[in-house]
Structure 1
C-alpha cells in the first residue's frame, strides 16, 4: 500500500512577514518521515519558502498563498500571489540587495514551475529528499544483489 499525499495551505499577508511562513513550514515539515535524516533538504525548503514569500510580498505587493504537498517522492512548495506577470530571470547587478530570489530557488529545488492562475500566478518548486539507506537485505530497490540466489 503506497503513501497517500498530505498537504497544508495557509495565506500569509504582507503584515505577517516571511518569518511566520518559515515557522509554519518548519512546523509542518517536522511531521514528515524524512526531515530529520535530510537536514540539507529541509534547509533548502525553508530558504525557498523565504524567497518565494518575499517575492509575493515585495514584487506583487500581495498576500502569499503557500501550499505544501508531500506525495511520498517530492515535496511541492507552491506560492501564489495576485500579480499575473510571470517572473523573468534577470542578472542582479554586483552589490544589489535583491534580484536573486528565483535564481536561488531554481538552484535549490529539483524542479521549478511558474504558472498563471485565475487571480495571479503560482511558483512551484519540487524538493526530493535523498534516498534512504538500502533495504535491510542490502539491496536497494531495483538493484542487483551479489552472491548466491536465495535457497
Structure 2
C-alpha cells in the first residue's frame, strides 16, 4: 500500500492570563505571512485572526486559564488549536441581546470550515480548521 507523506509546519505559543488577544493575533499574523497562500486570501486571514482572538479570550475569561495556541498547516487545512485547563465544553448558542458575551463559539462556527472540541487530561482543546479557497 502506498501512503502519501504529509508535509506539515506548525508553531506553538503559551499565552498566560495577562496576555491580551492582540498579542495572540499579532503572533498568528506573523506566522500566517510565511504561508504563501495567505497573501491572496485576506478574508480567510481575517477569519483566522478573529477565531484566534475568540478562542484565546474564551480560555482566559471562561476557563480562567492560560491558553496554549498551536497553529498547524498540513497543505490542506490550517488548524488553530487552543488548549485551556477547563473541562467545560463550549456550547454553540445563537447570539442574544439579553446577555453579554456568549458569541465566541457562534463566531467560530460561522468563520471556520470545521471545528471540534476534545477533552484531554488537563482540560480541553478547541480546534478550528480553515481551508484556503480554491483558485477560480
Q: Considering the TM-score relative to the shorter chain, is it more than 0.5?
A: yes
TM-score when scaled to structure 2?
0.92
Aligned length: 133
* DSSP-derived class of the 1:115 partner: strand
What's the RMSD between the two structures over aligned residues? 1.6
1: CA distance, partners of 2:98 / 2:122: 34
Give the equivalent residue in structure 1 for 2:123.
120
1: CA distance, partners of 2:41 / 2:5: 21
1:85 is displaced (CA, Å) by 1.2
What are structure 1's unaligned runs of at least 5 residues? 134-151
What are structure 2's unaligned runs of at least 5 residues? none
Give the equivalent residue in structure 1 for 2:31.
28
TM-score when scaled to structure 1?
0.83
Give the equivalent residue in structure 2 for 1:86.
89
Conserved? CA contact 2:95–2:106, under 8 Å: no
2: CA distance, partners of 1:103 / 1:55: 12
1: CA distance, partners of 2:115 / 2:103: 15
1:96 is displaced (CA, Å) by 3.4
Residue by residue over 1:71-113, the C-alpha shift from the partner in whole angstroms, topping out at 9 and shown as x without a partner, is: 0011000000000111122344315330000010010000010
Give the equivalent residue in structure 1 for 2:21.
18
**1:38 matched to 2:45:** no
Give the equivalent residue in structure 1 for 2:12.
9
Give the equivalent residue in structure 1 for 2:134.
131
Give the number of the structure whose alpha-carbon radius of gyration is greater.
Answer: 1
